[in-house]
Homo-oligomer: A and B are copies of this chain.
Amino acid sequence: MANEKITLAHGAGGKMSAALMRDVILPAFDNPVLDVLHDGAKLATSGRLAFTTDSYVVRPLFFAGGNIGKIAVCGTVNDLAMTGAVPRYLSCGLILEEGFPVEDLSRIVRTMRETADAAGVAIVTGDTKVVEHGKADGIFINTAGVGELIAGIDIAPQNVRPGMKVLLSGCIGDHAAAILAGRHGIEIPESLTSDCAPLAGLTQAVLKAAPHTAVLRDPTRGGVAAVLNEIAAAAQVGVLIDEDALPIREAVRGICDMLGFDPLDLANEGKCIAFVPAAEADAALAAMRAHPYGKDACIIGETTEEAPGQVGLRTALGGIRIVDLPLGSLVPRIC
């Protein structure tokens, strides 16, 4: 089918639907739990579970460092990881636009499989719908995920106290910058690609080193600014970060200057923010840095009793500027 295009018949539940499953989708996801004879998968799980979902509408579909399939797996794996869970199972809901090339679909589902393998999860159930040409935008993907919560770990914003350290696992804004460069035709160095990556290994290492970690969060839509504001508001602490400590690539700064963005607002797809008791902060930092996805990790700030609910940025010049939640549509369809 590689040279074909998706038709409405591929989504109608008849022979064409069955052929698309058999020839394209099931071979990519093939695993022992994916039971083609059921509309639901039977899971082998133990302990308490975490459950999450995200839909992915990123444009362009293929970009430096990944494609929509890679994000669709990483994003949901990461949401599970940030709850303090070991991700185990994913679902995959595809909405395809009539006319979408089967070849592109094949590439995307193969990437999903490779990323799932790398993240240690299995795609065990799914669904495919087709809508008329002009009623979608190529492909939208929803993944939901089930993970096993790690015993003894309690991740909750309410656990954040003043005096905790705020850790960041690496450079910010790479994903958004790669997408923006792709959209606007801006030339970027080869070293700047989306940071899209599955973080469950990194979060498990952090939680082993720092079991009293209060919060893990991946700064996707809304960026670091949104995560810090949410946690400050939920925990009613102040969050004070150092501008000098923020790891930002020159190329990302350049794109921000060119397009008028603040790197703190930019989406990341392979970064983790951790709120860790001061006593465990060095251990958590060492665990991040020992992981391939956390080599550039650093402590970017701390929580304070002052200014509860607010996020402050201590600038290079020594002043403090308030970091607000971005208002609206900075970069639409970033994930």
Chain A interface SS verdict (over half): mixed
**In the complex, how many angstroms separate the beta carbon of A225 from the nearest chain B beta carbon?**
9
Q: Measured between alpha carbons, how far is A130 from B93 in the docked complex, in Å? A: 17
Most buried by B among A83, A134, A142, A326: A142
Is the CB of A249 closer than 8 A to any CB of chain B? no
Is the CB of A13 closer than 8 A to any CB of chain B? yes
Copies of this chain: 2
Most buried by B among A50, A157, A332: A332
Q: Measured between alpha carbons, how far is A136 from B95 in the docked complex, in Å? A: 10
Contacts of A56 in B (CB 8 A): 129
- Interface code A133-166, partner B: CB below 8 Å = 1, 0 otherwise? 0111100101011110100000111100000000
Q: Measured between alpha carbons, how far is A134 from B134 in the docked complex, in Å? A: 7
The stretch of A40-48, A197-205, A307-315 in contact with B is A40-48
Is the CB of A329 closer than 8 A to any CB of chain B? yes
Is the CB of A57 closer than 8 A to any CB of chain B? yes
Contacts of A7 in B (CB 8 A): 328-329
Is the CB of A244 closer than 8 A to any CB of chain B? no
Contact across chains for A52 and B80 when beta carbons are under 8 A apart: no
The stretch of A15-23, A24-32, A188-196 in contact with B is A15-23
Contacts of A217 in B (CB 8 A): 39
The stretch of A84-92, A104-112, A274-282 in contact with B is A84-92
Is the CB of A220 closer than 8 A to any CB of chain B? yes
Contact across chains for A80 and B40 when beta carbons are under 8 A apart: yes
A39-B124 in contact given A11-B332, A53-B91, A131-B137 (Cβ < 8 Å) = no
- Interface code A227-266, partner B: CB below 8 Å = 1, 0 otherwise? 0001000100000000000000000000000000000010
Of B12, B134, B135, the residue contacting A222 (CB under 8 A) is: B12
Contacts of A320 in B (CB 8 A): none
The 6 closest A-B pairs by CB, nearest first: A13-B221, A9-B328, A13-B222, A144-B144, A40-B52, A53-B91
